[in-house]
C-alpha cells in the first residue's frame, strides 16, 4: 500500500488565491493594502530561499512587502530601533524578523519588542500564551499550515494519538497546542526522548520538526498514519545540493496513510499562512474582521 501524497504546493496555491481575493476586497472597502515588513540580518542561505518565496507570494496575493536587509554585523540596538519604527508605521501590518539572528543579537529581545498586533509569525510571548490558553491571536505559520494539511485528510482527530518530534517555540510547541485543541492526545518528543522509534510507532499523526535529514524511517511509522514532514534540510547528493525533510520519504510512503513531501509540502503552507496572518492583521487594524 502506498500513501496519499499531500500536495502542500497545491493547497497553498488555493489559499493564496483566496487571500488575493480577500485582500482586493479589503482594498475596495477600506482602501488598505496589507503590508508585510521582512527584516533579514546577515546572509543565511536557507533564509534567502524563504525570503525569495515570500516576496513572490506577497506580490501574487496583492500584498505590499517591505524588505530590510541588514549586514551580519549590525548592532542589536539598530535592529531594535528598526522594529520600533515598523511598530509605529501604520502601513505595516506584519513584521517578520528572519531567524536565526547573528549571535550579537538577542532574538528574544527582538521578538519581544515586535508589537503583538503585528506579530504575524506568532512568536511573541503574548501570542504564544494566547495560543496555550485558547484565546485568539496570531498562530505561528508552520504549525498553522501543517494543521490545515492534516485537516485536509482527516476530519476527526478526537482521541487520536499525535506525536510531535521537536519542542521549539516556532514549530514543535505551537503544533502540539493546535493538535490538543483538536482533542488529540499529544506527545512531544525531543532529543532526550527514550526509544523514539517506539514512541513514533504509536502515532496516528506524526509531525517531524527536528532538523535531521531523513531521520524518521518507514519502520517507525504506524501503518496508515498521517505523516507531516516539517524538516527542511540541505544535503549533498552526488556533489549536488538537495533539500530533504526529516522523514525518509521513500520508506515512509510505503507505510503511511498520508504523507507530505519535501519540497512542496509544509514549506509553501508556511508562506501562505504568513500571507493569511498579514491579511488578518490588516483587517483587524481597520476594524474589518
The secondary structure of 242-272, three-state, reads EEECCECHHHHCCCCCEECCCCCCHHHHHHH
Cell of 148: 490545515
> Quick check: 110 and 78 in contact, CB under 8 A?
no
98 touches which of ligand GUE, ligand NDP, none (CB within 5 to 8 A by kind)? Answer: ligand GUE
196 touches which of ligand GUE, ligand NDP, none (CB within 5 to 8 A by kind)? Answer: ligand NDP
> Quick check: 10 and 266 in contact, CB under 8 A?
no
Residues 6+ apart with CB under 8 A from 48: none
Q: Which of 99, 180, 188, 288 binds ligand GUE (CB under 6 A)?
A: 99
Q: Shortest gap between Cβ of 264 and ligand GUE (angstroms)?
A: 4
Q: Which of 34, 231, 257, 261 binds ligand NDP (CB under 6 A)?
A: 231
Give CA–CA dist 182/248, Å, rounded: 27
Q: Is the backbone peptide bond immediately before 100 cis, with ω within 30 degrees of 0?
A: yes
The C-alpha cell 538537495 sits at 242
Cell of 122: 506568532
By CB under 6 A, residue 288 contacts ligand GUE = no
Q: 235: closest CA among 251, 256, 213? A: 213
Active site residue 181: no
Q: What is the contact mask toward ligand NDP in residues 33 to 72, using x (rule: CB under 6 A)?
A: ----------------------------------------
* Positions of E strands within 6-154: 35-41, 64-70, 94-97
Q: Which of 18, 30, 115, 167 binds ligand NDP (CB under 6 A)?
A: 167
By CB under 6 A, residue 261 contacts ligand NDP = no
By CB under 6 A, residue 96 contacts ligand GUE = yes
Rg (C-alpha) for the chain, rounded Å, is 19
Ligand-binding annotation for 167, yes or no, is yes
Q: Which of 120, 157, 271, 279 binds ligand GUE (CB under 6 A)?
A: 271
Give CA–CA dist 282/288, Å, rounded: 8
Q: Shortest gap between Cβ of 8 and ligand GUE (angstroms)?
A: 7
Q: Which of 12, 209, 252, 256 binds ligand NDP (CB under 6 A)?
A: 209
> Quick check: 175 and 203 in contact, CB under 8 A?
no
By CB under 6 A, residue 206 contacts ligand NDP = no
Q: What is the contact mask toward ligand GUE in residues 135 to 164, using x (rule: CB under 6 A)?
A: ------xx----------------------
> Quick check: 19 and 276 in contact, CB under 8 A?
yes
Residue 46 C-alpha from the chain's centroid: 14
By CB under 6 A, residue 128 contacts ligand NDP = no
Active site residue 219: no
Q: Determine which helix (DSSP H) or strand (DSSP E) holds 85, and give its type and residue range.
A: helix 76-88
Q: What is the binding site for ligand NDP (CB under 6 A)? A: 142, 165-168, 170-172, 189-193, 196, 209-212, 230-233, 266-267, 270
Q: What is the binding site for ligand GUE (CB under 6 A)? A: 46-47, 49-50, 53, 96-99, 121, 141-142, 232, 243, 262-264, 267-268, 270-271
From the annotation, which residues make up the binding site for NADP(+)? 166-168, 232
Amino acid at each position: 500500500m502506498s500513501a496519499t501524497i499531500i500536495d502542500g504546493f497545491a493547497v497553498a496555491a488555493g489559499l493564496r488565491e483566496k487571500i488575493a481575493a480577500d485582500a482586493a476586497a479589503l482594498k475596495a472597502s477600506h482602501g488598505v493594502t496589507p503590508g508585510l515588513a521582512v527584516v533579514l540580518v546577515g546572509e543565511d542561505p536557507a533564509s534567502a530561499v524563504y525570503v525569495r518565496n515570500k516576496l513572490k507570494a506577497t506580490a501574487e496575493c496583492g500584498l505590499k512587502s517591505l524588505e530590510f536587509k541588514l549586514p551580519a554585523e549590525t548592532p542589536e540596538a539598530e535592529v531594535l530601533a528598526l522594529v520600533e519604527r515598523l511598530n509605529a508605521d501604520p502601513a505595516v501590518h506584519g513584521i517578520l524578523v528572519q531567524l536565526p539572528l547573528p549571535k550579537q543579537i538577542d532574538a528574544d529581545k527582538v521578538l519581544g519588542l515586535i508589537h503583538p498586533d503585528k506579530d504575524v509569525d506568532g512568536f511573541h510571548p503574548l501570542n504564544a500564551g494566547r495560543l496555550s490558553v485558547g484565546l485568539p491571536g496570531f498562530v505561528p505559520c508552520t504549525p498553522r499550515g501543517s494543521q490545515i494539511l492534516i485537516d485536509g485528510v482527516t476530519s476527526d482527530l478526537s482521541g487520536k494519538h499525535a506525536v510531535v518530534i521537536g519542542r521549539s517555540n516556532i514549530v514543535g510547541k505551537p503544533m502540539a497546542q493546535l493538535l490538543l485543541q483538536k482533542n488529540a492526545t499529544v506527545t512531544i518528543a525531543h532529543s532526550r526522548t527514550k526509544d523514539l522509534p517506539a514512541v513514533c510507532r504509536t502515532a496516528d499523526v506524526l509531525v517531524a520538526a527536528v532538523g535531521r535529514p531523513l531521520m524518521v524511517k518507514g519502520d517507525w511509522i504506524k501503518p496508515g498514519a498521517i505523516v507531516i514532514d516539517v524538516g527542511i534540510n540541505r544535503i549533498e547528493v552526488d556533489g549536488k545540493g538537495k533539500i530533504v525533510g526529516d522523514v525518509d520519504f521513500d520508506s515512509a510512503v510505503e507505510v503511511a496513510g498520508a504523507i507530505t513531501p519535501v519540497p512542496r509540502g509544509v514549506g509553501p503552507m508556511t508562506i501562505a499562512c504568513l500571507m493569511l496572518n498579514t491579511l488578518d492583521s490588516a483587517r483587524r487594524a481597520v476594524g474589518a474582521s
